[in-house]
Amino acid sequence: MKTYIGIDWSSTHDDVCILNEKEEVVNKFRIEITNQGFQKLIDVIANINPTKDEIFIGIETDKNVLADYLLALGYQVYGLNPFCVNRFKDRYSVSSKKDDEFDAYNIALILLKDLNRFNPIIKSSNNCEALKMHGKTLEMLLREKTRFENRLKSDLHQYFPVFTDFFDGFTSVPLNVLKVLNKPGQIVNATFEDYLDLIKDVKYMTKKRRYEFYKLLKDQTIVPNETTQECYSLRVLILVEQLLSLMRSIKQVEKEIMVLYNRNEYSKIFSSLPGAGDRLAPRFLMHFGDVQERFESYQTVQCYAGTCPVTIQSGKYLHVIKMRRGCNKSFRDTLYQFSFCSLSLELWTREYYDRLRKKGCNHSSAIRALSNKWVKIIFRMWKNKIVYDKEIFLKKRKIA
């Protein structure tokens, strides 16, 4: 007999509800997030139904220690969207009732009623899972780097604006210059020799650039009062050290990502994409994975990545197409960046983009439409394990 298990998780405990095929509650209980708690769950399940193929477990996330634990034991686990669970609950309670036991019951009931509408969680290989985790770490570090760069730029505008006028961004060169030259007053009475001695340890800055920077500092530097300089220079030094540390960490993670990526058999497939490069190709592998059962069709990928639009039509309202927001944002961003890069490398992408623009689509809409087209191609490459060949695509397009 099939068994349906709903788990409502929290940071301290998990509520479990078990239903049979007749919608009867077989058992409900609470477990702690400990080895003993997890073992209790396994024991209860085994006593009710020892056949794993007939056990369906639902939980509102696939990024959970319990979900990983159950998957490792060979159970079928379904990651359900919390919005889907909340809307399903309205069928039985319109009062917006919030109760852990009730939530667990509804998760189990969703699986019982609509199991065919959901896909079980399918993990990729250990190599790909590690790649995915490193990818998320890299995204986090890049966001932090951008945040610190914006804060540093804002502070420099307040008391040392000439610095940002000379340097376009914050690479290692301007950051190392800031470590030794972070007060406008340092340059006012300094000779060129004093200035050169001050930045002598800064690498990758040519003599011409050093002279141009010195001349600009001499001509345009505004010197605030001593208190302002002291306070801002301390903040700038802290931000500089944080940014340099982040840059070292980013290089370390990127190196690890490329090692893992090059070990995977799918790396040649995604590296063959025009414009993917060392940054986007590994991200494609992170999102697609290396287990083909994960996606049954390219339409599934389009919905998951958010390239497929949402259509709205009701009664007298016109047919409206809107951007899909319920999706994997990182995957959508990867496809967006790749599609933009491909415009200068593939003639058909530029023609398709220009045609959409002439029809009235804005830049973002045209790029998303191009991303939707790319998903079909990349999915077929991934499914058939073949590298990119534009002639195959052009031939199919002519036939169509």
Domain boundaries, the chain: 3-117, 128-260, 267-399
Quick one: pLDDT at residue 229? 92
Quick one: pLDDT at residue 86? 84
Residue 339 three-state SS: helix
Q: Are the C-beta atoms of 32 and 82 separated by less than 8 Å? A: no
Quick one: pLDDT at residue 318? 60
- CB neighbourhood size of 132 (10 A): 20
Instruction: Report the CATH number of the 3-117 domain.
Output: 3.30.420.40
Those residues of the chain that have pLDDT short of 50 are: 399-400
Quick one: pLDDT at residue 327? 87
Residue 370 three-state SS: helix
Quick one: pLDDT at residue 100? 85
Handedness of CA 273, 276, 282, 287 (dihedral sign): negative
CA dihedral 248→271→298→324, nearest 10 degrees, is 40
| DSSP code at position 273 | S
Q: Are the C-beta atoms of 378 and 308 separated by less than 8 Å? A: no
Instruction: Report the CATH number of the 128-260 domain.
Output: 1.10.287
Quick one: pLDDT at residue 400? 43
Quick one: pLDDT at residue 320? 65
Q: What is the pTM of this model?
A: 0.85
Quick one: pLDDT at residue 316? 66
